Amino acid sequence: MGSHRHEGVAFTVVVTVAVGLGAVAVLVLLALSGAPSITLLATVLAALPVGPALAAYLWLDRYEPEPRTLLLLGLLWGACVATVAALVVQGLGGFLVGFTSTMSLAVVAPITEEAFKGLFLLLLLWWRRAEVDGILDGIVYAGMVGIGFAFFENILYLAAAYDGADGMAPGGIAGITSTFVVRCLFSPFAHPLFTTFIGIGIGIAVTSRSTGVRIVAPLIGYLCAVLSHGIWNASTVFGFGSFVVVYLVLMAPAFAGMITLAVWARNREREMLTDALTDAAARGLLPATDIGWLVDLGARRLAREHARATGGVAAGRAMRDYQQAAVELGYLHHRLLRGTAPGDWQSRGQEFLARIQASRPGFAFPGQVVPQR
C-alpha cells in the first residue's frame, strides 16, 4: 500500500512542478505574443474546440473514469510543459544547427513535440502504471495531453496570423479567421490524434506479458506519432492543394480509424468487465446479482437514481462509491487473470474490497429490499 502511494506522490510532485514552471513560461510567451486584446481574442478562439474535444474523450472514459486530477494534469502538461519544452528545443536547434523552416516544421517539430507530449504518458506508465488498464485509457490520457498542447499552440498561431507574422498573410481579421477555420474547425483533433498513437502503444505495453512488447509498443507508437505529424506538417509547406489531399487521404481516414478503435475498445470494456466480475463473484468477492448493475452504463445510472430516491443523498453516495470500487476491482482482477497485474495488486485489491464492504449495506438496487445495518 505504501509503495503505490509513494509513487503516486512522486508522480504528482514531478508533474506539478513541471506544470508550474511551464505555466510561468506560458504567461511570458503570451505577454510577448502581441497586444493584450489580440492575445485575448486568440485565447477565446483557441478555447472553442476544447470543450467538444474534452467531451468526446470523457465520453470514452465512462466505464472506469480515470482520476480527474490525472486528466487535468495531462491537459496542463500538454499546454504548459510539452509546448514550452518543444519551443525551447526547436529554438536552440535552429540557432545552433541552423535548420531551415521546412526542416524545422516537417522533421524537428514532430520529433520534439511528440517526445515531450509522450513523456507524460511514460511518467504515467512508470509511476502510475496501475491507472492505465489498457488501450482505451492510453487513448484518453493521450487525448488530454494533445488537447492541452493544441490549445496553447493555437493561441500562438492565431495571434501570429493576426499580426501577419511568419508569412501568414494577409494578417488582421482575415488572417486570424482563416487560421481559425483550418486549425480549430477542420483539424481540432490533429494533436490528440498524433499522440493517440503513443497512448495505444502504452496501452498495449500495460496489457502484454512480453517484455519485448512492453518496450517496443510505446516506441512504435511514438514513431507512428512522429510520422503522421511530420506528413501533416509537411503538407502545409506545399500549398493548400497538398494540405487538402493529405487531409482527405491520410488525416480523415486515420481519424475515422481511431474513432472506430476507441469505440471498439469501449465496447470491449463491457465484455471484459463482465468476465472479470463473474470470476470475482465466483470467488465470493461480491454478489453475482450485482454484476448487471455494474457493467451496463444505463443500469449504473438507474441504480444511482434509485438509491437516492429510496435512501437519500447518503445512499446515492454509497452506491456511487460501491460502483467505482467494484469496477476498479473488476479491472484489477482482469489484469490478475491475464498475468499483467501491478506488483502491489494485493494491497490495491484489499482497498477495493474494503470500500465494497463499507458501502454495500448502505443502499439497495432496484427490486431489492434496503439492507439493515
- Residue 67 gets which letter from DSSP? P
pTM of the model: 0.87
pLDDT attached to residue 236: 75
Nearest residue to 106 via CA among 219, 227, 194, 190: 227
pLDDT attached to residue 372: 44
How many CB atoms neighbour CB 50 within 10 A?
A: 18
Specify whether the CB–CB gap between 326 and 273 falls below 8 A. Answer: no
Cα separations in angstroms, 72 against 66, 98, 140, 164, 191: 10, 36, 12, 33, 17
Instruction: Quote helix, strand, coil % in the chain, to nearest 5.
Output: 85, 0, 15
Distance CA 134, CA 349 (A): 18
- Residue 239 gets which letter from DSSP? -
Surface-to-core class of residue 74, CB atoms within 10 Å of its CB (0-12 exposed, 13-18 middle, 19+ buried): buried
pLDDT attached to residue 122: 93
pLDDT attached to residue 60: 86
Q: What is the pLDDT along the chain (373 residues), one digit of tens a residue?
A: 445 566 678 888 899 999 999 999 998 888 887 778 888 999 999 999 999 999 999 988 887 888 899 999 999 999 999 999 999 888 887 667 667 777 888 889 999 999 999 999 999 988 888 888 889 999 999 999 999 999 999 999 998 888 776 555 567 888 888 889 888 888 888 899 999 999 999 999 998 888 899 999 999 999 999 999 998 888 877 655 677 788 788 888 888 888 888 888 888 888 999 999 999 999 999 999 999 999 988 899 999 999 999 889 999 999 999 999 999 999 999 999 988 888 888 989 999 999 999 998 888 888 765 444 4
Determine the angle formed by the axes of helices 172-180 and 36-47, rounding to 10 degrees: 20
How many CB atoms neighbour CB 266 within 10 A?
A: 18
pLDDT attached to residue 319: 94
pLDDT attached to residue 369: 52
- State whether residue 153 is helix, strand or coil: helix
Tell me the three cell numbers of residue 234.
509537411
pLDDT attached to residue 373: 40
pLDDT attached to residue 366: 86
At 306, which amino acid appears? H
Surface-to-core class of residue 100, CB atoms within 10 Å of its CB (0-12 exposed, 13-18 middle, 19+ buried): exposed
Cα separations in angstroms, 314 against 121, 190, 317, 323, 324: 36, 43, 5, 14, 15
List, in order, residues 6 or more apart from 99 with CB less than 8 Å away: 93, 107, 108
Tell me the three cell numbers of residue 373.
445495518
Tell me the three cell numbers of residue 208.
502484454
Which residue in this structure is represented by grid cell 477542420?
186
pLDDT attached to residue 113: 95
pLDDT attached to residue 144: 96
At 278, which amino acid appears? T
Nearest residue to 182 via CA among 162, 217, 157: 157
Q: Whole-angstrom distance between the N-terminal and C-terminal Cα of the chain?
A: 29
pLDDT attached to residue 291: 92
Specify whether the CB–CB gap between 326 and 277 falls below 8 A. Answer: yes
Per-domain residue ranges of the chain: 2-237, 271-362
